[in-house]
Amino acid sequence: MNEKIIAELAQELYNADLGRNPIQAITDRYPDIGYEEAYKVQLVGMKLRLADGHVIVGKKIGLTSKAMQNALSVFEPDYGYITDKMMAFEGEPISMASLILPKIEPEIAFILKSDLSGPGVTVADVLQATAGVMPAIEIIDSRVKDWKIKIQDTIADGASIGRIIVSGKLSPIDEIDLRFTGLVLEKNGEVVATAAGAAVLGHPANAVAWLANKLSQYGMKLEAGDIVMSGSLTAACQVASGDNIRATFDRIGSISARFIK
């Protein structure tokens, strides 16, 4: 796949985001696209956002739970960038009209106090570099029609990021074993899923370590101040206008989201 096609695909995805008009899957048109080419599309797309005034504030890791990996028949996570314009405030309703076909994922967000540069980053390194964690909800969305995607499509599409909501509570992790942090996910007051932190690669910090080591292959690193979304503890939950979502994490706190037309 040449640079011209990569640039055209990145522009297509960005236009789809701006106009909320999804495109045909890239893998339908270019079935031989590889992971590396898909990440190149993502990077060009991020450069388009930066040129439009976005500021990178962190990174997200996707496909970290067995439920999400099984959904796409993959065995490795993926990642994408978070910008300031992707952040939403808790308590502020989320307009369905601003998205295409959103779903939500409950996650533990890491806030870094120091850089993490691979290779060789371990869970211990991640914990030492973490200022604290926050309950978070990722609103995933796809610029590909009807979520008919393969892993290369979601990588090219920024790991299917839509919006990020983090709570205002930062919890130190000195005395918290995130493997055993329980989660209760509710929609409209009804429990729809339960899980624990170990659902994310055995430990959410494993996901952050994976990302630091993956980025090192491209000469990049996680930086102090980054928000790092460590991946969903559950399968994605569909939402519609009028839905109220609450994710409650043991010892960390809760986070909510409300959706309107």
Phi, psi dihedral angles at 240 (to 5 degrees):
-140, 170
* Structure confidence by residue, pLDDT tens digits, 14-31: 999 999 999 999 999 999
pTM: 0.95
DSSP 4: H
Instruction: Using alpha carbons, select from 120, 58, 106 the residue that is nearest to residue 85.
Output: 58
Give the CATH fold of the 3-260 domain: Fumarylacetoacetate hydrolase; domain 2 (3.90.850)
* Structure confidence by residue, pLDDT tens digits, 40-54: 999 999 999 999 999
DSSP 102: -
Per the structure block, which two tokens stand in for 190?
Answer: 């009804």
Domain range list for the chain: 3-260
CA angle 80, 85, 91 (to 5 degrees): 110
Burial 204-241 (b: 16+ CB within 10 A, else e): bbbbbbbbbbbbbeeeeebeeebbbbbbbbbbbbebee
Are the CB atoms for 183 and 106 separated by under 8 Å?
yes
Distance between CA atoms of 201 and 233, rounded to whole angstroms? 10
DSSP 159: G
Percent of the chain with pLDDT over 70: 99
